[in-house]
Amino acid sequence: MTTFEEPCREGLNVEFADTQLNVAILIKQVPRVETMSLGTDMRLVRDGVDLETNPYCRRAIAKAVELARGMSGRSTAFTLGPPRSADCLRDALASGVDRGVLISDPSLAGSDTLATARALARAMATCSPFDLILAGRNSVDADTGQVPPQLAELLGLPFVAGARSIELIGRSVHIECEDDDGWSTIEVELPVVVSCAERLCSPAKATLEQRAAVDPKRIVELDATALGHGPFGAEGSRTRVGEVRSSRVERLGWKGTGRPAEQVRDAVALLATRSPAIPRANNVAARVPDGREPGGPVVAVLCEPGRALVTRELLGAAATIAEVIGGTVCALGTSEVRDSAVLRSWGADEVVDMTGSVAEQDIAWAVAAWCEQVRPWAVLAPGTTWGREVAARVAARLDAGLTGDAVAFDVDTTSGRLVGLKPAFGGAVVVAITATSEVQIATARPGVLALLRERDAVAPTLSSLDVPVIGRALRVSSGRDDHIEDLASARVVVGVGLGVEYDEYALIRPLVEILDAELAGTRKVTDRHWLPRSRQVGVTGRSIAPELYVAIGISGKLNHLIGVRAAGTIVAINSDPQAPIFDLADIGIVADWRQVLPLLVDQLAARDANRSRPNQAHNGWVDPTAEATVSSQ
């Protein structure tokens, strides 16, 4: 049984430097999203697909080079993949990294995140000592962010996610982090694993000529034999990939012509034929299934502090699963979620009150020890920064399968296993993932699971779990400038690009109000701090699936469109008839948005004259006259 005192190193002999800073970088080669396609067998076509270094990894490369050189240290890049993955190592070496390690062997094919983390840990044990390990926040093809915290757990190290600044003072590290909808300040002693946010620094870039000039002797190749005892690859993976489904949505492709008033009239008439045409107030789905007395398979839910809506979604999903398998639901939460009657009404049959430390590493170790005693059928966690780390660490300690960022759950009645449906490759496909381990673990994207109607609130079975302080990362301060649930659960979203100046946002407000919408933006909008980073939609931001998305002043670059491809209906307003946004839109209005919006608001009001205007208390709204409402954090 794993105890709190022993690090989960699996017999690894990994040393850490005492003087000069030696930095390891985890990098990954990913497909260019725009070159991907599905074959007739509904599988991804991989032959001939253009590859590149993952954008987040480029930040890790740049920061590693800067820190290592600044402290007379050394940097080493690691990647796992087929021989052609050496291309991203050449990219890193041409950008200033000192050496590269390619982990490549046919037996490593089919590695899930845990098998990948295990191979990386073993590879590091064969190299020089490291005291700082940098990684991208996530990869744009899978978007799970699981490998860095799983590696940290295997090495018995603290993990810090989403660094946007890193300051070294001797052996101490001061890190400013981007959270899902806010920020935090972390202090920790080396060694540590850190994932890098997009805004940490400018990405490393090297020309084709610079990459070609890299001496191949600077790249060391390790096969499975060099890594030592496994298991690796498919054998060491605790998840299995099932059916791959296309998530491509057929769009109407209507684009207006003529005067703005005529286009708006026709657009609103067309919108009324869509289902649902103009969304109304949120409808809560079916009721939470009736509870059960303790006994049978247990579906556990990890309740993140301060995330009531996400907790409610997960408990509802868990209760639905428990009804199918004849089990019960157990909610594990800290003191911030001790209202057990409320948790019961959301789906919990049992509540475990976790007392003591609230640090992710400590909670993960306590939850893993609880799992070894209870042996739950499944563990569900939120797909947030907090949930990803806790779930990843628990999976590493238990050697369990972990499905990341699921958007729906099902139970395979033939095998009796949990099925998590997960978007991949920028949302181009949805993949069915199952775990082969006894305990099945999954995280779910906030806002995508059905919000079930509450059942009667009665007291559930209560117990407690002590969480001792073991980890070394100290959260000095934190804050939120938004709420992740608002955009994730919105039925209508209005998106703005650079075609809308910040001092013009007040002109958009009437449309936001009449649609009861949330406000989102492109990366360039959030780069200018016109909206919080949590409102960024796109490949390095959020993916959303509202019933209606209205794009205003957005040209429609692929990086943004990936984030809205799951929207039910897309309306685009742009004065450029050649703007790429019209290729994805159901309804396009070709005109200046300043002329269109008043007409559109009037048309919508006329169609629903009796509808009262909601009081918009939040909606991501930014008052251009109040600078204090725009956080630069």
Amino acid identity, position 127 = C
User: And the tokens for 586?
Assistant: 């159901």
For the chain, domains (ranges, CATH) are 22-237 (3.40.50.620), 249-281+481-629 (3.40.50.1220), 285-469 (3.40.50.620)
| Helix, strand, or coil (residue 548) | strand
pLDDT, tens only, 348-396: 999 999 999 989 999 999 999 999 999 999 999 999 999 999 999 999 9
3-state DSSP of 418-442:
EEEEEEECCCCEEEEEEECCCCEEE
pLDDT on residue 246: 67
Amino acid identity, position 611 = R
Q: Which residue has the tokens 């609103």?
A: 268
pLDDT on residue 337: 53
Q: How far apart are CA 422 and CA 407, in angstroms?
A: 6
DSSP 202: P
pLDDT on residue 74: 94
Q: For 78-85, what is the mean pLDDT?
A: 94
C-alpha distance from residue 396 to each of 27, 228, 361 (Å): 20, 18, 12
pLDDT, tens only, 247-286: 667 889 999 999 999 999 999 999 888 855 454 434 456 8
pLDDT, tens only, 82-124: 999 999 999 999 999 999 999 999 999 989 999 999 999 999 9
pLDDT, tens only, 8-22: 444 344 444 445 899
User: Is the pLDDT confidence value at 172 over 90?
Assistant: yes
Helices (H), 213-299: 224-227, 233-236, 260-271
| Helix, strand, or coil (residue 506) | helix
C-alpha distance from residue 284 to each of 116, 318, 439 (Å): 40, 17, 31
Q: For 593-604, what is the mean pLDDT?
A: 94
pLDDT band at 625 (very low <50, low <70, confident <90, very high): very low
Of 55, 114, 333, nearest to 234 by C-alpha is: 114
More confident: 119 or 557: 119
Of 334, 245, 255, 326, nearest to 291 by C-alpha is: 326
Of 473, 483, 480, nearest to 178 by C-alpha is: 480
Q: How far apart are CA 545 and CA 159, in angstroms?
A: 31
What are the strands, taking DSSP E only, across 279-428? 285-287, 298-303, 328-333, 350-356, 378-382, 401-406, 408-412, 417-424
Phi/psi-derived region of residue 351, left when phi > 0, alpha when psi is between -120 and 50, beta in every other case: beta
**Out of 194-198, 233-237, 335-339, 455-459, least confident range:** 335-339
pLDDT on residue 422: 86
pLDDT band at 560 (very low <50, low <70, confident <90, very high): confident
Q: For 572-583, what is the mean pLDDT?
A: 94
pLDDT band at 538 (very low <50, low <70, confident <90, very high): confident
Of 446, 447, 422, 452, nearest to 435 by C-alpha is: 422
Q: Determine which helix (DSSP H) or strand (DSSP E) holds 360, and give its type and residue range.
A: helix 360-374
Count CB-CB contacts under 10 A for residue 617: 6
User: And the tokens for 397?
Assistant: 């300690």
| Helix, strand, or coil (residue 26) | strand
Q: For 21-32, what is the mean pLDDT?
A: 91
**Residue 414: Cβ-neighbour burial (10 angstroms; 0-12, 13-18, 19+):** exposed
Count CB-CB contacts under 10 A for residue 13: 9
3-state DSSP of 120-153:
HHHHHHCCCCCCEEEEECCCCCCCCCCHHHHHHH
Distance of CA 37 to the CA centre of its chain: 23
What percentage of the chain reaches a pLDDT higher than 90? 61
Averaged confidence pLDDT in the chain: 86
Bridge partners (DSSP) listed for residue 524? none
DSSP 247: -
**Strands of 474-480's sheet, edge to edge?**
219-222, 99-103, 74-80, 22-26, 132-136, 192-196, 159-169, 172-178, 182-189, 474-480
CA angle 74-77-83, nearest 5°?
A: 145
User: Is the pLDDT confidence value at 514 over 60?
Assistant: yes
pLDDT, tens only, 283-333: 456 899 988 887 899 999 999 998 888 999 999 999 999 999 999 999 999
Q: How far apart are CA 461 and CA 465, in angstroms?
A: 14
DSSP 336: G
Are 120 and 151 in contact by the 8 Å Cβ rule? The answer is yes
Q: Determine which helix (DSSP H) or strand (DSSP E) holds 495, and give its type and residue range.
A: strand 492-496
Q: Are strands 408-412 and 417-424 parallel, antiparallel or unpaired?
A: antiparallel
| Helix, strand, or coil (residue 229) | coil
